[in-house]
Structure 1
Amino acid sequence: MQQHREQSFETDADTKQEIITVETVLAWDIDDIGTWLQSLNNEFRALILERGPVRIKGLEYPKDIRGRKFAKNNYYKRLSNSEIVNRQWLVYSKCKDTVFCFPCKIFNSCNFKIATMGINDWKNLSHILPQHGKAQHHIESMHKLCELSVRLKKSDNS
């Protein structure tokens, strides 16, 4: 016999409450950022952070109508000293064929497409990503992500 549990999830800024069953939550693909709700509550954030940003290895990215597709090299940036750094915050959504900024999405910190609907402008992505990485809202979201991760680890160890 399956138990039916309900949990209240805050869905928008005016604190409207929506009752969502556990079955509904499990219908979302927690590994696909494109299926997540626009506004996330703390419990869902904690669940997401337990798993971390997910990248599907060996995925063949589909081409758009212009023949362009997401390139794996966008997951990395080359510094001026030629060092290559992983953009761990960049996550691809298979269901939407877009990329998202993981911390900006989970904290709903901006209204830019990279945090809300995702970006699939593959031609200009190599210019968009460095700009986003330097943006104040992104930097603040990265700090929030680090702080929340530390707090969650401390509470797990208690």
Structure 2
Amino acid sequence: MKITIAAVGKLKEKYLKEAISEYSKRLSRFSEVEIIEVDDEYAPDTLSEAQESQVKKKEADKLLKRVKQGSYVILLDLAGEQTTSSGLSGKIENIMLSGNSHITFIIGGSLGLDQSLINIADYRLCLSKMTFPHQLARVILMEQVYRAFKIIKNETYHK
């Protein structure tokens, strides 16, 4: 199994980089892990609707270039399905059982998602209705994917 996380923006904070590194290490016994960071587009505080759409489109194009054909695409989306940790575990297990060996999680930029990302998603996942910085969402996602594999393997961690 291969897990790819493709995200807009680069992690800058040391503590977030360390958390990602730790979960990558933990996940490595279950799956190959690849983290892809694409540059975010400059977006001043005041953008017209057309400018905002253009920024989202440029970021989406960068992400779409990095999605491998045949990968099962899970898009992090506020309009996506909310699930439990066990529910995500079941989803990942079903993807594996269906013969797909590569899952790509996509995290868009701070302005949201371009329709082109929504169109290619096999599944849309909402981590929470609360707002998190995109960098922190990566850490939360990594922890939940790790938890999902621990649940699949019936190993203690999830209580």
Answer 1 or 2: which has greater strand percent: 2
Q: Normalising by the residue count of structure 1, what TM-score does the alignment of the two structures yield? A: 0.28
Q: Normalising by the residue count of structure 2, what TM-score does the alignment of the two structures yield? A: 0.27
**Higher alpha-carbon Rg:** 1
